[in-house]
Amino acid sequence: MHAVVDAESLLAFLAGLDGVYDAPPPLGDPVDLLAHGLQCAAVLRNDRPDDLGLQLAGLVHDIGHAVGDDPDHARVGADVVRPVLGPRVADLVALHVPAKRYLASTESDYELSEASRLSLLRQGSVMTSEEQEKFLAHPAAADAVTLRRADEAAKIVGHQVPGLDVWAPHLLTYASGV
């Protein structure tokens, strides 16, 4: 399934996502999983500079696409990163799909990429009011919404952001504290 057992193997796995897409075009996003994660982490670094855990969640949030089925990629990704990056990052990874469903159900002007619109249907579509209440009750819901907004902003072909080499020491330091 995957070979992630520690921070170094997680970094190697992330590096291997260069050229790997969430789904074949036109169903997937226009950037590969590594570029998408790097862009998402950069957006979060700008928006929440003091929250390394949230930034790392942005970096790894779609890792599950490389090891699982699309509707379950958030849960699969959370399971992969939990032993290395701990429960908070894993919870944020797991919640980024419910956050999309929440935003799509509560904000009429919430813009989704074409790929996100297509995957929303496979992931349960918009939330019912009961699902919204359950989502909002999760302690990480607000941060998951922030991650989700960064996720949508992180799909720009050719956008230059800091590379994995810049994130590696931060990920190693964070993981050593888990």
- Three state DSSP letters for 28-40: CCCCCHHHHHHHH
CATH of the domain at 104: 1.10.3210.10
Asked if 149 contacts 112 with a C-beta cutoff of 8 angstroms, the reply is no
Q: Number of structural domains, the chain?
A: 1
Neighbouring residues of 87: CB distance < 8 A, sequence distance ≥ 6: none
- What pLDDT does 85 receive? 98
Range of the domain at 63: 7-176
Q: 2 in a domain, yes or no?
A: no
- What pLDDT does 5 receive? 92
Q: 171 in a domain, yes or no?
A: yes
Q: 138 in a domain, yes or no?
A: yes
pTM of the model: 0.92
Q: What is the distance between the alpha carbons of residues 51 and 44, in angstroms, rounded to a whole number?
A: 8
Q: What is the distance between the alpha carbons of residues 37 and 134, in angstroms, rounded to a whole number?
A: 27
Q: 78 in a domain, yes or no?
A: yes
- What pLDDT does 104 receive? 87
Is 24 in a helix, a strand, or coil? coil
Q: 1 in a domain, yes or no?
A: no
Q: 157 in a domain, yes or no?
A: yes
Q: Would you state the structure tokens that stand for residue 42, as one six-digit string?
A: 């950069």
Three-state SS annotation for 36-82: HHHHHHHHHHHHCCCCHHHHHHHHHCCHHHHCCCHHHHHHHHHHHHH
Q: Residue-wise pLDDT tens for the chain (178 aa)? A: 468 999 999 999 999 999 998 877 677 788 999 999 999 999 999 999 999 999 999 999 999 989 866 668 899 999 999 999 999 999 999 999 899 889 888 998 888 777 777 777 677 777 799 999 999 999 999 999 999 999 999 999 999 999 999 999 999 999 999 8
- What pLDDT does 24 receive? 72
Q: What is the distance between the alpha carbons of residues 165 and 178, in angstroms, rounded to a whole number?
A: 21
- What pLDDT does 69 receive? 60
33-to-40, 84, 103, 111, 133 alpha-carbon distances in Å: 10, 19, 22, 20, 31
Q: How much of the chain is helix, strand and coil, in % rounded to 5?
A: 65, 0, 35
